[in-house]
Amino acid sequence: MPERLLERSLAAVWHPCSQMKQYDDGNMPLLPIVGARGAWLHGADGRRYLDGISSWWVNLFGHCHARINAAIRDQLEHLEHAMLAGFTHEPVVELSERLAARTGGRLGHCFYASDGASATEIALKMSAHHWRNCGRPEKHRFLCLAGGYHGETIGALGVTDIPLFRDAYGPLLRPATVLASPDARGAATSLEAAQAAAQALSRHLERHDAETAALIVEPLVQCAAGMAMHDPEYLRLARELCDRHQVHLICDEIAVGFGRTGSFFAHEQAGIRPDFLCLSKGITGGYLPLSAVMTRDDIYQSFYHDATARGFLHSHSYTGNPLACRAALATLDIFDDDDVLAANAARGDRIDAGLAPLAHHPAVSHYRRRGMIFAFDVHVDRDFARRYRLAALERELLLRPIAGDSGATVYLMPPYCLDNAEIDHLCRATAEALSEALPT
């Protein structure tokens, strides 16, 4: 049965972020999954794999979670979908209210889509359109950070600085200005890196603030850049500079929101609020596609007018889908009821202790942690990431290192449900896979 499913998939499915030939020639296995529960994915061959990357960073509380399952089942009996243009429903209203409350009411308006890249597109368009509505159409340029990733649709690629994803589509893009990253790996201290990147932002804004609409950042962790972590001071300084130069600050928390960095929203650790907040991935606990862009009342009011053309006319067919919103509400219920952040702090400390010997491994550099995200770099050869992934799978662990020119970043972003035995397995298999994947 697994072999037949593989054949059918390779014949009919174009898999994402993949060179399909690698599946055909055996360089990378395509794994048939038939079920999942808790932290484990169950393969068609009877094997299981601890989901160490939360199925691409979306799953928060484990697979097949009883409370999220129940919420979706209940919603199925009432309303599966209704378009949000001209209609509304209880799940989307309640979700908007509760997300706004999480920002202290300062980001009180939510616009919904289905994925993170769409949220990026919405925030960029809202920012430029706001300035146009305010009589400043010249403010339509965007700033992003070196190594930043914000999605792979055309607008989102314009503010993404990952050549592997961007270069093939260069002629189609409207590129943003790329500024220095506060990546702490490039400086003596994380604070120095944050201050240097903020100085680069300041110099640019001194010359170009009149044409700049917004700066977009991934707060605290630039994930696709190799889990590049930075000091919260950068966000604080960026907020000050954006205020001074009348430039919007867009926080892309698509990957780092919902507790991943240790706080519910990553930007909270800098004591700031953005002008736009992009959310997705963990918002539904990893169940259904949903994204949201939150913004301030004064930005919302700039679109509020008799003229239809001044409205924000962006739309998606499944905007505010009731099933996805109920999954998101169940996710918020779990945060509210189970003291998730405190439990994660203890869970993260145990993982950190289990991984601690890797920080002194001769092949490892820059071991780092931010909340429930753990990473280290290995610079050996271009094939290391593939070997490591295969070695981890042999040990019933799903990890997917971020490949680089001369090695990879191995990272762990597990769901918030691991017990002590699963943590021990995660740490042991991570270390054993490293030993096997290193060249002999």
Q: How far is CA 266 from CA 179, 252, 274, 320, in A?
A: 21, 10, 11, 24
Q: Does the pLDDT at position 1 exceed 70?
A: no
d(CA 20, CA 164): 16
Contact 281, 114 (CB under 8 A): no
Q: Is 240 exposed, middle or buried (0-12, 13-18, 19+ CB in 10 A)?
A: middle
Residue 427's SS3 state is: helix
Q: What is the pLDDT of residue 177?
A: 98
Tell me the pLDDT tens digit for each residue of 23-36: 888 778 899 999 99
Tell me the pLDDT tens digit for each residue of 361-381: 999 999 999 999 999 999 999
**Residue 357 dihedral angles phi and psi, to the nearest 5°:** -60, -25
User: How much of the chain exceeds pLDDT 90, in percent?
Assistant: 92
Tokens 């990357």, residue located: 53
> Which stretches within 89-183 are classed as H helix?
90-102, 116-133, 154-158, 163-166
DSSP readout, 210-276?
Answer: GGEEEEEE-SSEESTTTSEE--THHHHHHHHHHHHHT-EEEEE-TTTTTTTTSSSSGGGGGT---SE
**What is the set of domains in the chain, with CATH numbers?**
31-64+341-437 (3.90.1150.10), 69-338 (3.40.640.10)
User: How much of the chain exceeds pLDDT 70, in percent?
Assistant: 99
Q: Does the pLDDT at position 100 exceed 80?
A: yes
pTM over 0.95: yes
Q: Does the pLDDT at position 144 exceed 90?
A: yes
Q: What is the pLDDT of residue 405?
A: 79
Tell me the pLDDT tens digit for each residue of 106-142: 999 999 999 999 999 999 999 999 999 999 999 999 9
